[in-house]
Amino acid sequence: MRRDIKIGLIGMGTVGTGVAKILLEKKGLLELKVGVPLILEQAADRHLDRPRPVDLSGVKLTENPEDVVNNPKIDILVELIGGYEPARTFILKAISKGKHIVTANKALLATFGEEIFSAAYEKGVDIAFEASVGGGIPLIKGIKEGLVANNIECMFGILNGTANYILTKMTDEGITFGAALRDAQRRGYAEADPRFDVEGIDTAHKLAILTALAYGTPLNLDQIYVEGISYITPLDIQFARELGYRIKLLAISRLRGKDIETRVHPTMIPESHLLANVNGAYNALLIRGDSVGDVLFYGLGAGMMPAGSAVVSDIVDLSRNLIKGGVQRVPALAYMPGGRKKKSVIPIDNLESCYYFRFSALDQPGVLAKIAGILGGYKISIASVIQKGRKIRGSVPIVMLTHRAKEAYVRQALKEIDELEVVRGKTVSIRMEDNLDAL
């Protein structure tokens, strides 16, 4: 019987600090739940003198993560450095030494996950990554274990707290994109490179992980279609609102026969839907299983303590495995390695969606007819049109909603429309998802 479990932590930034705080300050509670003490044996960070809201006096500290990776006493290595390298090398090295791994590194797993997961499988160690998607929400465990009886049919996720915070601020307060981003950064939600948040890349990393878990397909980051939120203006948010919609950066993944679709883009969703009311730094994942129906996970997707909560839940899972000798009891990617099969991803051009278009066009006779003519030529059917205000000279916004139209045709139609003499500026197009409940 083990007397304790020893944990090594590399990376003491926001999340690492949260993990240390929980391990040290809730030691008693965790021991009651695990049976033996979880000891934070050693921690590494480049900035050891940085003030932190936790007393680390009882923890061996080092500036060199290699010290932790090579420490023979450590059972579980927690990687919270982030980024690709040296995180990848440290994880692979720790695996080769037989250590179990906990990481929150979605970028690394989405990109090099196949290499890392197979190294862990071959070596007979566990790797857990609850905090990589949805911060504190236990959705990975939910998919792997709670929903194990289901074929997953589709998922709709709000998976980036920063982007959601920005869109919420823009919607509620009418502030600019830049001001909302700075506010999110001050609150510690944003990635080191905020383009990952606002350009949809972080959401795509998370969707790649979820898609692999849900459908048993290899990680497919490079096949995910990605658009960010930086082109969304307060004007579009205002129009969406008047039409009864909210704009959310949505991760969508759906089974289509034997194939799947996977995409990340700003999406207009009906304001009455639960997902439209997931605001601020909150994340949510709506997941549909063929037995269970719809399940909604909701919670804080970023921040020191929520992400720390998820990391510690992984530490506890792996500790329990170690104590009972049940390593690799639950496959890291939900399916047994032999049961994972590649699914084809449908190219975005072949998908259909309803659209919101905002044209900037001169307010002259015949302009609408020209635009409508081009749309009609590409079999794009108009559902409604709004023009507000009147300008004798200069352009006015004309908003159109369409019925379902093929993506490739939309692209070609907008290219032609944007070349018209009477159209000033690039047309804004936002996909709409009206039928989140009944697909």
Q: Which of 206, 258, 324, 388 is flagged as catalytic?
A: 206
When binding is defined by CB under 6 A, the residue of 45, 130, 197, 407 that contacts ligand HSE is 197
When binding is defined by CB under 6 A, the residue of 301, 308, 331, 397 that contacts ligand HSE is 301
> How far apart are alpha carbons 417 and 237 in whole angstroms?
22
**Is 206 annotated in the active site?**
yes
Return the residue matching tokens 């090594």.
8
Which residue, 107 or 351, is less far from ligand HSE as judged by CB? Answer: 107
> How far apart are alpha carbons 414 and 274 in whole angstroms?
32
Q: How far is the CB of 264 from ligand HSE (least distance, A)?
A: 13
When binding is defined by CB under 6 A, the residue of 75, 79, 130, 191 that contacts ligand HSE is 191
Q: How far is the CB of 15 from ligand HSE (least distance, A)?
A: 8
CA angle 308, 312, 314 (to 5 degrees): 120
> How far apart are alpha carbons 226 and 366 in whole angstroms?
35
Q: How far is the CB of 311 from ligand HSE (least distance, A)?
A: 12
Q: How far is the CB of 289 from ligand HSE (least distance, A)?
A: 24
What are the C-alpha distances in Å from 96 to residues 22, 92, 112, 120?
A: 28, 6, 16, 8
Return the residue matching tokens 């084809």.
344
x/- track of binding to ligand HSE for residues 159-178 (CB under 6 A): -xxx----------------
Return the residue matching tokens 């250590």.
99
User: Are residues 206 and 157 in contact, defined by beta-carbon separation less than 8 angstroms?
Assistant: yes
When binding is defined by CB under 6 A, the residue of 45, 75, 130, 202 that contacts ligand HSE is 202
DSSP secondary structure letter of residue 217:
P
Asked if 13 is part of the footprint of ligand HSE (rule: CB under 6 A), the reply reads no
296 dihedral zone (left: phi>0; alpha: psi -120 to 50; beta): beta
**Stretch in the footprint of ligand HSE (CB under 6 A) among 25-33, 188-196, 207-215, 242-250:** 188-196
**Residue 87: which residues within 8 A CB-CB, separation 6 or more?**
79, 81, 103, 105, 108
Q: Which residues bind ligand HSE (CB under 6 A)?
A: 135, 160-162, 189-191, 197, 202, 301-302
Catalytic center residues: 206
